[in-house]
Chains A and B, each alone.
Chain A
Amino acid sequence: MKDKPILAGLFLANLISLYMIFIWAPPERSLGDSYRVFFIHTPAAWVSYLAFATTFLGSILYLKTEKPMWDLYASSASLLGLLFCLVTLITGSMWAKLAWGIYWNWDPRETSTLILLLVYLSYISFRMSISDKDRKARTSAVLGILAFISIPLSYFSAVFWATLHPMPLFPINRPQLGIEPSMLLTLAVSMIGATLLFSWMFYLTLNMYRMTEKAELSLLEIKE
């Protein structure tokens, strides 16, 4: 019952955000209506970075305090981060196809986002491959820290690579997005909507893990 006002706020914020994205924001000069995917792509990217930063912080705090709660935060955030990272990549490719004619153009941000996705996919598969709970939490916390540190290094390498490599597939005149104040406002609202959506999903994932843990404990008690 206490979730109802939060849920109502979240629903309202996302409804307003959808209205602004698809109806209120004006069409873009060169890209027309197709640019609207930008209002889903950018908030998804922001939320995925927020989620991975939460994993990083949760990992540090787990190593410091050894409280299982922080491991739960880190693993839940990484799952959601992966989901939003996937949305970022898919919408980014769609936008690249519409704007530049190709789905994948080895843009440094595109490449480093793909590496980010792979790093956290490995993080999840690593967690799944360890059955001992304490070991899983401790080693995953270390990996959560390493994964986050490796991201800027991968990004700078991708920037460096892209500036040196000739890319014949690149269109010479890439249309650039001309941002108007109404578009900026739509972007801000959609960012808030996505952040609220992430917070709600994070809360649900934490509850799901806690309930699974309780169910497992009850099952063990019944067996004994």
Chain B
Amino acid sequence: MTKRTISFLSSSVSFLEDALEILFKDLRLELRRGYEIYSIMVLALLSNLSFGFALGIMNPNVLEFVPAVLWISILFIGMLGFTTVFVREMDKGSIDGLRLAPISPQAILIGKTIYTFMLMCVGAVFIIPSSMIILNYTFHSDYLLVILFLGLGILNIAVVGSMVSALAMYSESRALIIPALSLPLVPGTLVPSILATGKLAMGATIDMILSELQLNLAFLLLMVAAFWITFEYVLYD
């Protein structure tokens, strides 16, 4: 191995370590408080119940609505999480600590994004099984494919959410600005995710959701690249 390769590998490892450090810090804080995870669980059940009432019990066309119901619920739960990502750091004054820490801004963003992703996954773990019971449907595709696809869609929303949270920390109306900024930025991933989830519920294979997968991957790459370049302008005053 050349010197350049070794230096690249060591800087990548230290970047990952920094990102994980940010992630563990947030997770420790979240587990200590606990009430946010509990609220996410309650909201997941309530959203399923509300959609059940809205769609009608034992609706024969439930499969037409379920994918949209699932993703709207996941998005709203994500919005609960977005407020905790950067806005909390600003409110508590710990954002200055993050700015002064010898960590690259990109590592902070990655750590925060993984944290948002994990928080949204907790919500999805409650939403999906409970909606399968309450709304009476099942996924007929390979479960690994379902999990991978749902994971990709959630990751895309988490990426947008983390950046929106970073922007919203400077706003004077944070609670309003987070949904106002997130909702118009996510249709690029929300629409293919809803479509593919509908297909997966009806037993689609990977070939049948290839276009949705490509759209979601393109969204992920473009957004990550844009955030990677611009994030330091958001973090530092």
Question: Interface on chain A toward B: helix, strand, loop, or mixed SS?
Answer: helix
Chain B interface size, as a band, is 20 to 34
- Is A19 an interface residue when CB atoms closer than 8 A count as contact? no
Interfacial chain B residues near A109, Cβ < 8 Å: none
Is the CB of A150 closer than 8 A to any CB of chain B?
A: yes
Contacts of B189 in A (CB 8 A): 153, 157
Q: Chain A residues with Cβ under 8 A from B234's Cβ?
A: 138-139, 142
Asked whether, in the complex, the Cβ of B171 is within 8 Å of the Cβ of A118, the reply is no
A141 partner residues in chain B, CB cutoff 8 A: 233
Whole-angstrom distance between the Cβ of A182 and the nearest chain B Cβ:
39
- How many A residues touch B, CB cutoff 8 Å? 33
Instruction: Determine if B58 is an interface residue (Cβ-Cβ < 8 Å).
Output: no
Nearest chain B CB to A75's CB is how many angstroms away?
15
Name the B residues within 8 Å of A134 (CB-CB).
237
A122 within 8 A of B: yes
Scan residues 167-216 of chain B and give those whose CB is less than 8 A from a CB of chain A: 167, 170-173, 176-177, 180-181, 183-185, 187-192, 195, 211-212, 215
In terms of DSSP, what is the predominant structure of the interface of chain B?
Answer: helix
Known: A154-B187, A157-B192, A158-B191. A143 touches B223 (CB 8 A): no
Q: Which chain B residues border A135 with CB–CB below 8 Å?
A: 170, 237
Query: CB distance B188 to A156 under 8 Å?
Result: yes
In whole angstroms, how far apart are the Cα atoms of A125 and B183 in the complex? 14
Q: Which residues on B are within 8 Å of A, measured CB to CB?
A: 163, 167, 170-173, 176-177, 180-181, 183-185, 187-192, 195, 211-212, 215, 218-219, 222-223, 226-227, 230, 233-234, 237
5 A-B residue pairings within 8 Å (CB atoms): A147-B185, A149-B223, A150-B184, A153-B187, A153-B218
